[in-house]
């Protein structure tokens, strides 16, 4: 490895210096050499270390340069002290001491300036690396949304809440009494065949059978047991029936049951409430009608129809031909409803001679399918994001 002679490793006598002028010249040479090296950047210092064979033990070139000049054991200033100052003749000691102090001050000042300069440069480079480019597009974070069924729930709840109805919720596991008997559906009533449900397997000796509710109407009974008239509630929730899954049926679906009980509630109050809801939900242009029907817990009972919102109640599609939604009938069945059967009041200790009311049951899945043109109820339960993203 090539090396460069270091004059500070020799005494002034060995260098042929015997007067003040010679001392000044040697110190000037050392100072010039230092000024040249301290101006180098890190890569140039590293190359110099290799060329002059003073790598040292520190891998940082700036630290190695500092150690080379002011190191306590073998630094240039230490060598000057040992070889030039201590071993100089008495006649030159004053000159050597003065030159040494000036060189030492110069070296320490420049090394400190170099340290600050390199630190500032390093910090600036780090800031440039860490700087946020505000012109870059932001990171897109996927944001979730309510499921379409939850959106329809909220829309219906808001409509009824605006006209004075309260929202109550109840258990999905019910007893036969609240799910059937208290709603005027005794054990052997044929309507139970249409509400066949799932019973829970209970330990032997259990006093009361338990089942998955077939509608949210049980909470109407529970509410009337705890509250005297007036009562105006809607009951949203999930219900279960033993239906074979297809495009319009599912063993689990969603309902909102409504109940209003007070003195002097008439069928006109009922029709006004339902028509208000339908026009708020489907738009003011739809028309409504009632058809006689039967439900054990209402008397009289009706089926509520609305003019097809897809064909405008004409039965003909916009592109021609029969409307596929109403199948040309111009009307779509929405839900069942009616005036509360007086027999139901007997289960909650209401006086049927003083109070009256109406009840209705709305299938949320069906309304969502009608409003948003969905053909298969199963897509609500498949968690397909391609479907869900259409309803943010």
Question: Edge-to-edge strands of the sheet including 288-295?
Answer: 166-167, 231-240, 252-262, 356-363, 331-340, 298-307, 288-295
Cβ pair 162, 274 in contact under 8 A: no
Q: What is the block-wise mean pLDDT of the chain (392 residues), using blocks of 10 residues?
A: 64 84 85 82 69 55 78 82 83 85 86 82 81 80 84 93 93 90 81 75 84 91 91 93 83 91 90 90 85 82 84 78 79 86 90 91 88 86 86 82
Let me know if residue 135 belongs to a domain. no
Residues 113 and 208 in one domain: no
- Spatial distance between the Cα atoms of 333 and 269, rounded to a whole number of angstroms: 21
Residues 352 and 211 in one domain: yes
Residues 31 and 180 in one domain: no
Domain with 296 in it: what CATH number? 3.30.930.10
- Spatial distance between the Cα atoms of 323 and 310, rounded to a whole number of angstroms: 8
Which pLDDT does position 2 carry in this prediction?
Answer: 39
Which pLDDT does position 158 carry in this prediction?
Answer: 94
Residues 116 and 186 in one domain: no
Residues 111 and 190 in one domain: no
R_g of the chain, CA atoms, integer Å: 47
Pairing of strands 231-240, 166-167: parallel
Let me know if residue 43 belongs to a domain. yes
Let me know if residue 142 belongs to a domain. no
Which pLDDT does position 32 carry in this prediction?
Answer: 87
Q: Which of 74, 76, 94 is nearest to 20 (CA)?
A: 94
Let me know if residue 316 belongs to a domain. yes
* Domain end (from 100, 130, 160): 130
Residues 66 and 172 in one domain: no
Which pLDDT does position 51 carry in this prediction?
Answer: 62
CA-angle at 213, arms to 211 and 217, nearest 5°: 140
* Domain end (from 99, 130, 161): 130
Domain that holds residue 183: 148-388
Which pLDDT does position 55 carry in this prediction?
Answer: 47
Which pLDDT does position 350 carry in this prediction?
Answer: 92
Residues 16 and 118 in one domain: yes
Residues 152 and 279 in one domain: yes
Which pLDDT does position 358 carry in this prediction?
Answer: 92
Residues 124 and 158 in one domain: no
Let me know if residue 143 belongs to a domain. no
Q: What domain count does the chain have?
A: 2
Let me know if residue 155 belongs to a domain. yes
Which pLDDT does position 290 carry in this prediction?
Answer: 86
pTM of the model: 0.61
Residues 203 and 82 in one domain: no
Strands (E), the chain: 166-167, 173-174, 211-212, 231-240, 252-262, 288-295, 298-307, 331-340, 356-363
Residues 94 and 172 in one domain: no
Let me know if residue 138 belongs to a domain. no
Residues 50 and 123 in one domain: yes
- Spatial distance between the Cα atoms of 97 and 76, rounded to a whole number of angstroms: 15
Q: Which of 208, 218, 213 is nearest to 251 (CA)?
A: 213
Biggest CA-to-CA distance, the chain: 135
Let me know if residue 184 belongs to a domain. yes
């Amino acid at each position: 490895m090539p090396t460069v002679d270091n004059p500070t490793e020799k005494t002034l006598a060995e260098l042929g210096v015997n007067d003040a002028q010679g001392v000044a010249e040697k110190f000037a040479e050392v100072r010039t050499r230092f000024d040249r090296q301290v101006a180098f950047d890190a890569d140039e210092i590293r190359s110099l270390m290799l060329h002059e064979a003073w790598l040292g033990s520190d891998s940082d070139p700036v630290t190695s340069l500092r150690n080379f000049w002011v190191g306590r054991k073998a630094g240039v200033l230490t060598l000057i002290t040992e070889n030039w100052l201590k071993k100089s003749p008495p006649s030159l000691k004053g000159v050597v001491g003065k030159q040494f102090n000036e060189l030492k001050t110069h070296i320490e000042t420049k090394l400190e300036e170099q340290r600050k300069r390199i630190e500032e440069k390093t910090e600036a480079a780090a800031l440039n690396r860490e700087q946020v480019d505000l012109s870059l597009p932001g990171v897109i974070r996927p944001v979730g949304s309510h499921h379409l069924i939850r959106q329809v729930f909220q829309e219906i709840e808001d409509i009824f809440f605006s006209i004075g109805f309260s929202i109550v919720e109840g258990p999905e596991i019910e007893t036969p009494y609240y799910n059937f008997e208290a709603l005027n559906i005794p054990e052997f009533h044929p309507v139970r065949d249409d509400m066949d449900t799932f019973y829970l397997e209970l330990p032997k000796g259990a006093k009361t059978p338990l089942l998955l509710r077939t509608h949210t109407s049980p909470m109407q009974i529970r509410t009337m047991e705890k509250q005297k008239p007036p009562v105006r509630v809607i009951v949203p929730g999930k219900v279960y029936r033993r239906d074979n899954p297809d495009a319009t049926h599912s063993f689990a679906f969603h309902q909102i049951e409504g109940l209003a009980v007070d003195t002097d509630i008439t069928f006109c109050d009922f029709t006004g409430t339902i028509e208000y809801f339908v026009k708020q939900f489907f738009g003011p242009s739809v028309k409504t009608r009632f058809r006689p029907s039967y439900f054990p817990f209402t008397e009289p009972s009706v089926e509520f129809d609305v003019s097809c919102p897809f064909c405008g109640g004409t039965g003909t599609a916009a592109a021609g031909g029969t409307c596929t939604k109403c199948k040309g009938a111009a009307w779509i069945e929405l839900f069942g409803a009616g005036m509360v059967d007086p027999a139901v009041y007997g289960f909650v200790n209401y006086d049927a001679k003083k109070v009256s009311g109406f009840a209705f049951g709305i299938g949320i899945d069906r309304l969502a399918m009608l409003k948003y043109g969905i053909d298969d109820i199963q897509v609500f339960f498949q968690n397909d994001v391609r479907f869900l993203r259409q309803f943010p």
